[in-house]
């Protein structure tokens, strides 16, 4: 005999089950930060911001190199003649990846690697500006970040402050 599938169950539904506990654009502390007990903080040092720019540049250069290697493996005789196209393809791929990461993780690929992110969500209207500033910072090795407050260009473009998590840099 099988149990009756239509038997009424106990109603253990908590009050407020259909309401959010926090705002959707409120930053969530990563598990590593929550475990260590140190909350995310504003980058007082320029080093993480410059490291994020260098990480973005490394991603673009890596994608360019991968494109050139793919051309060589495909049998093309002079892949270095296609270097400008390889860089253009790499920048396009980086823009797509950075837009996705900015939407999901509130950071570009280099910023994720450096342990910095935006404190709040980047509004869709500001996304192109953040991508442009991040691309310009990568092209200039992050040196404009050394002038003025740490990460000022990214803060202005995104309209939200930066936070640093996961490392003990000064």
For the chain, domain boundaries? 40-164
- Give the pLDDT of residue 79: 72
**142 to 24, 48, 50, 160: CA distances (angstroms):** 31, 10, 5, 19
List per-residue pLDDT tens for the chain, 170 residues long: 555 566 666 567 777 777 777 766 665 555 444 444 444 555 567 788 888 899 999 999 999 999 888 888 888 777 778 888 889 999 999 999 999 999 888 899 998 888 888 888 889 899 999 999 999 999 998 888 777 777 788 888 888 888 887 555 44
Q: What global pTM score does this model have?
A: 0.67
Residue 8 burial by CB count (10 A; 0-12/13-18/19+): exposed, middle or buried? exposed
- Residues 117-135: pLDDT tens digits? 888 888 989 999 999 999 9
- Give the pLDDT of residue 8: 60
CA pair distance 115, 33, nearest whole angstrom: 11
CA pair distance 77, 166, nearest whole angstrom: 45
| Residue 138 CB neighbour total at 10 angstroms | 25
Residues ≥6 apart with Cβ < 8 Å to 159: 122, 123, 126
């Amino acid at each position: 005999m099988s149990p009756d599938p239509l038997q009424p169950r106990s109603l253990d539904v908590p009050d407020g089950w259909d309401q959010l506990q926090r705002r959707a654009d409120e930053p969530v502390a990563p598990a590593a930060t929550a475990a260590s007990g140190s909350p995310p903080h504003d980058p007082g040092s320029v080093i993480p911001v410059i490291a994020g720019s260098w990480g973005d540049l490394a991603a673009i250069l890596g994608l360019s190199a991968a494109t050139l290697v793919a051309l060589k493996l495909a049998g093309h005789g002079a892949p270095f003649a296609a270097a400008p196209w390889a860089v253009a393809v790499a920048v396009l791929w980086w823009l797509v990846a950075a837009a996705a990461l900015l939407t999901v993780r509130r950071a570009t690929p280099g910023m994720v690697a450096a342990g910095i992110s935006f404190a709040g969500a980047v509004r869709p209207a500001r996304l192109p500006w953040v991508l442009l500033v991040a691309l310009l910072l990568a092209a200039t090795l992050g040196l404009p970040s050394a002038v003025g407050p740490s990460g000022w260009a990214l803060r202005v473009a995104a309209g939200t402050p930066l936070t640093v998590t996961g490392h003990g840099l000064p």
